[in-house]
């Protein structure tokens, strides 16, 4: 399924792919595979110099080297015009709820081909939390920018929040630490994937909230804020019940221990 006019400068299709998926809020998400080696998460700024644009011959050599390391069918393909296509995986690590249309059916293949925007069919909105660390696989072009990847993900899952609320990060592992770097909107994720190779332990992409310091509450609508309060109220009640159950079990064990102690001969 190809993203439409909002992503006209770069080819990007959001294909349901090869992994087991689960269903929530009328959208499909992929479970994240467990990390091979546990690592400590550290978010910091990583300074890098941007390399000079490679020649077509250099790109061809890099693609051949990349494909030689691929262990599945997700190869990169060089086009006659010098552009190339391939796959990236984006981890969704969103801590706050997203806003979606209320009561809308899932997007069909017909809707995607006809560029039907289901979010425009209703003014009703609802908010929910995306599964933590879910994964979406994208088939994109070398001309697809970070901005288009973000817009494509939001459109695919019918998220109507402002794209500026989100940012794409690259995640790298070094010396047992996980480092995150926020990518500029004009960056080309597929080129970064090509340079790093297919190993996602070396480089992976993460969609997170666009943290700019304090939360800009003015950017949210009244229904969004009301939904946030409802979600927080429910979480608070659930947490209280968890604590009550925990200490009730502790109380029962303590009473049982005292009862057994009293029954023993002094």
pLDDT digits (tens, 9 = 90+) for 133-185: 788 899 999 999 999 999 988 888 888 888 888 999 999 888 888 888 999 99
The conformation of residue 82, written as its DSSP 8-state character, comes to S
For residue 156, what pLDDT is reported?
83
Q: What is the pLDDT of residues 74-98, one digit of tens each?
A: 999 999 999 999 999 999 988 888 8
pLDDT of the residue at 105: 52
Question: Is residue 108's pLDDT more than 80?
Answer: no
Rounded distance between C-alpha atoms, residue 162 and residue 151, angstroms: 9
Radius of gyration of the chain (CA): 23
Per-residue DSSP letter, 266: -
| Residue 92 bridge partners (DSSP) | 134, 207
- In angstroms, the CA 193 to CA 208 distance is 19
Percent of residues, the chain, with pLDDT higher than 90? 36
Least confident of 17-26, 52-61, 109-118, 232-241: 17-26
Q: pLDDT band for position 33 (50/70/90)?
A: very low
Q: What whole-number distance in Å separates Cα of residue 38 and Cα of residue 152? A: 31
pTM summary value: 0.59
Structure tokens at 30: 């992929």
């Amino acid at each position: 399924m190809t993203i439409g006019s909002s992503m006209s400068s770069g080819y990007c299709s959001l294909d349901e792919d090869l992994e087991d998926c689960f269903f929530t809020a009328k959208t499909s998400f992929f479970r994240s595979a467990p990390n091979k080696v546990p690592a400590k998460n550290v978010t910091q700024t990583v300074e890098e110099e941007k390399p000079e644009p490679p020649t077509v011959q250099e790109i061809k050599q890099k693609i051949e080297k990349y494909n030689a390391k691929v262990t599945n069918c997700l190869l990169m393909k060089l086009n006659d015009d010098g552009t190339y296509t391939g796959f990236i995986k984006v981890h969704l690590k969103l801590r706050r709820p997203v806003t979606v249309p209320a009561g809308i059916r899932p997007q069909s293949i017909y809707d995607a081909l006809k560029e039907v925007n289901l979010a425009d069919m209703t003014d009703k909105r609802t908010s929910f939390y995306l599964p933590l660390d879910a994964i979406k696989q994208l088939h994109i072009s070398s001309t697809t920018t970070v901005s288009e990847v973000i817009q494509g993900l939001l459109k695919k899952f019918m998220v109507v929040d402002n794209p500026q609320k989100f940012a794409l990060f690259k995640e790298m592992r070094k010396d047992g630490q996980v480092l995150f770097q926020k990518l500029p909107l004009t960056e080309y994720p597929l080129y970064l994937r090509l340079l790093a190779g297919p190993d996602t332990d070396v480089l992976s992409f993460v969609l997170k909230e666009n943290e700019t310091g304090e939360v800009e509450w003015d950017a949210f609508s009244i229904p969004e804020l009301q939904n946030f309060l409802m979600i927080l109220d429910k979480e608070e009640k659930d947490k209280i019940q968890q604590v009550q159950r925990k200490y009730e079990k502790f109380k029962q064990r303590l009473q049982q221990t005292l009862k057994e102690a009293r029954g023993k001969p002094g």
